[in-house]
């Protein structure tokens, strides 16, 4: 199943984010974006909670299956990689909470 979203890009404009869950593929403005399986799963968790802050512990649980392992930088490092690969500024840091993915549903 393909889902299409409009997201903020690094230039301040809008970009189309297409996520194909069946083939685990992502495109930004029609250009394929190679994500690792873990990065794709993390993106899915963020999309499932779009426009809502998601706590780091919830991301660990949803994307890695960890109940709790204390303070870890795993989520932060993967978010940083995901931001860089997507080239988008739609993943925001929510201070002392976690992350928020801002999207608008596409056509």
State pLDDT tens for residues 3-54: 898 898 777 788 899 999 999 999 999 999 999 999 999 999 999 999 999 9
Domain holding 40: CATH number? 1.10.10.10
Q: Partners of 4 in the beta sheet?
A: 18
Which residues does 75 contact at the CB level (< 8 Å), separation at least 6? Answer: 42, 56, 59, 60, 63, 98, 99
Number of domains within the chain:
1
Return the ∠ at Cα 8 (arms to 48 and 6), rounded to 5°.
Answer: 55
Domain of residue 17: give its range: 2-105
The percent of residues in the chain predicted with pLDDT above 70, rounded, is 94
* pTM > 0.85: yes
């Amino acid at each position: 199943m393909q889902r299409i979203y409009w997201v903020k890009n690094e230039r301040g404009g809008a970009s189309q984010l297409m996520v194909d869950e069946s083939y685990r593929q992502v495109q930004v403005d029609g250009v394929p974006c190679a994500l690792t399986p873990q990065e794709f799963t993390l993106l899915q968790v963020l999309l499932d909670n779009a426009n809502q802050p998601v706590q780091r512990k919830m991301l660990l649980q949803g994307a890695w299956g960890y109940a709790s392992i204390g303070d870890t930088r795993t989520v932060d490092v993967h978010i940083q990689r995901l931001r860089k690969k997507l080239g988008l500024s739609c993943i925001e840091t929510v201070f002392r909470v976690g992350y928020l993915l801002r999207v608008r549903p596409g056509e």
